[in-house]
Amino acid sequence: MNPPAPPPALHDVETPVGVVDLSRARSNAERVVAYAAEHGLAWRPHIKTHKSIEIARLQIEAGARGLTVATLHEAEVMAAVTPDLLLAYPVVGSGKLRRLQRLLRREVDLRVGLDSEEVLGPLAQAADAEGREVGVLVEVDAGLRRVGIGEVDGVVRLAEAAAAAKGARYGGIMFYAGHIRGSGPEEEGALLRLAGFVADLGARLDAAGLTPEIVSGGTTPTLWSSHRIPRLTEIRPGTCIYNDRDAVAVGAATPDQWAYTVLATVVSTAVPGRAAVDAGSKALAKEERGGSGYGELFGRPEVKVVALSEEHGMLDLSGTEWRPEVGERVRIVPNHVCVSVNLQDRVVGIDGREARAIELEGRGRASPLPEAISVG
C-alpha cells in the first residue's frame, strides 16, 4: 500500500515546502484550550513554532489568552493580533531597548521574563522614559540550567527589586521545564521535584508580600501534566499547534495530530534501497533523534529520512516494499517542527480541498544594520 497521496490542491506547488493542515491545527488548539479550561489555566502559546499572524489568530480564536514571543520582532508582529504579550527573553542592549520603547508606544500590555537586575534596571528605565510600565516575570531555573534563578532567596530578591523599580510592574514568575521529556520514572521524579520547588517558592513569595499573580510554565512534553504543578496560572506550549515526531515520541501527541509536514519530490532512485528527495537540511533541519533519522514519511512510518545534505534527503527503503518513482511527491514529518518552519519562506495551508499561502511574518529579526560597521 502506498502512502496517502498529497491533496490535489498541492499538485502544482513547488517543492520543498512546509504544509499546514489547518483543520488539524484548529483541533490541536481546541484540545489545549479545553484542557486548560478544565484545570483553571490560561494558554499563552509560544509563536516560535508557527511565526504566523494567521495561525496566531487561529489560536486566539480558539481561546488562547495572549501570546508568548522570543524576539522583539515577534513582539512587534504579534501586537497586531493581541495586545497581551509575554516576551520570554531578557532584553539586553541599547538597540533592543529602543525597539522596546517603540513597541510600548503602541497599545500593548507587555511583560518580559528576566533573571537579573542588570536586565531589570535598563528595562525599567526605558519604559519609564516612555511614561509606561512594563510587566516583569522573574525567570526561575526549573532544572534545564539554561537561564533563570535556581535559589529561592535569589528569586525573592529580584521580585522585590522589580516591585520597587519605577517603570516596572512585578507580575510573578515564569519557568521552562525543557529538561522533562517523556513519562518514565526519571521524568516523573523531575516533575515531582519541580512541583515541590514551585510550591515552596510560592510560599516564600507570599511571606514576602510578593504573591505572584502569574505563575507561567509549561512545555509541549509536559503539557498534559501541567495541572500537577501547584499555583500554575498559565501554560506556554507552542509545538502542540502542529506537533512533530518528538511530540509523539514523548507521548504528548499522536500521529493523527500532526498538522505540519514538508512536501517533497522524489528526484532520484538510482541508489539501490534508497530514494532521494528535494527536502534536505535547509527544509527539514538537521536534528536527529534517537538514531531514528531526521524525519519519517507521512502515512508510512517505516520509511525514515536517514541522511541529509543541504538540498537532498535520503529515504531508506530497506524496510518497505514501496518503491517510489522519480517525480512522485511525498510528505515528511520532521523531528522538530519549529526549526523546519523557520527555514521556509512561507508555508502552504490546506483546508479541505483548498490551499493557500500562509505568510511567516514573525520570521527573522527585521532589525536594520547600520550602513557602516566599525571593526577596528
Q: Residue 369's pLDDT is what?
A: 55
Q: Residue 1's pLDDT is what?
A: 53
Cα–Cα distance measured from residue 263 to residue 346, given in angstroms and rounded to the nearest whole number: 13
What value does the CA radius of gyration of the chain take, rounded to a whole number of Å? Answer: 22
Q: Which helix (H) or strand (E) holds 38?
A: helix 22-38
Instruction: Determine the distance from the C-alpha atom of residue 304 to the mean position of all C-alpha atoms in its chain, rounded to a whole number.
Output: 24
Q: Residue 161's pLDDT is what?
A: 98
Report whether 230 contacts 178 (CB < 8 A).
no
Confidence of residue 3 (pLDDT cuts 50, 70, 90): low
From residue 278, how far is each of 7, 167, 223, 343 by CA, in Å? Answer: 19, 51, 34, 14
User: What nine digits make up the cell of 86?
Assistant: 509575554
The fraction of the chain above a pLDDT of 70, given in percent, is: 96
Cα–Cα distance measured from residue 41 to residue 229, given in angstroms and rounded to the nearest whole number: 11
Cα–Cα distance measured from residue 17 to residue 372, given in angstroms and rounded to the nearest whole number: 36
Stretch 331-336: mean pLDDT, rounded?
98
Comparing 3 with 375, the larger pLDDT belongs to: 3
The fraction of the chain above a pLDDT of 90, given in percent, is: 91
Residues 6+ apart with CB under 8 A from 350: 7, 9, 10, 19, 20, 21, 22
The DSSP result for 275-343, as a single string, is: EEES--HHHH-S---TTS-SEEETTEEEEEEEEE-SS-EEEE-TT-S----TT-EEEEEES-HHHHHHT
Cα–Cα distance measured from residue 255 to residue 301, given in angstroms and rounded to the nearest whole number: 10
* Structure letter (DSSP) for residue 256: G
Q: Does domain 8-17+253-359 have CATH number 3.60.140.10?
A: no
- pLDDT tens-digit profile of 183-225? 889 999 999 999 999 999 999 999 999 999 999 998 999 999 9
From residue 339, how far is each of 23, 253, 285, 312, 315 by CA, in Å? Answer: 22, 18, 6, 17, 20
> Which residue type is seen at 289?
R
Q: Residue 183's pLDDT is what?
A: 84
Q: Does the pLDDT value for residue 103 go beyond 70?
A: yes
Q: What is the mean pLDDT of the chain?
A: 95
What are the boundaries of each domain within the chain? 8-17+253-359, 22-242
Q: Does the pLDDT value for residue 164 go beyond 90?
A: yes
User: What nine digits make up the cell of 306?
Assistant: 536517514
CB count within 10 Å of CB 37 equals: 12
- pLDDT tens-digit profile of 44-99? 999 999 999 999 999 999 999 999 999 999 999 999 999 999 999 999 999 999 99
Q: What is the CATH number of domain 22-242?
A: 3.20.20.10
Cα–Cα distance measured from residue 304 to residue 313, given in angstroms and rounded to the nearest whole number: 10
Cα–Cα distance measured from residue 29 to residue 32, given in angstroms and rounded to the nearest whole number: 5
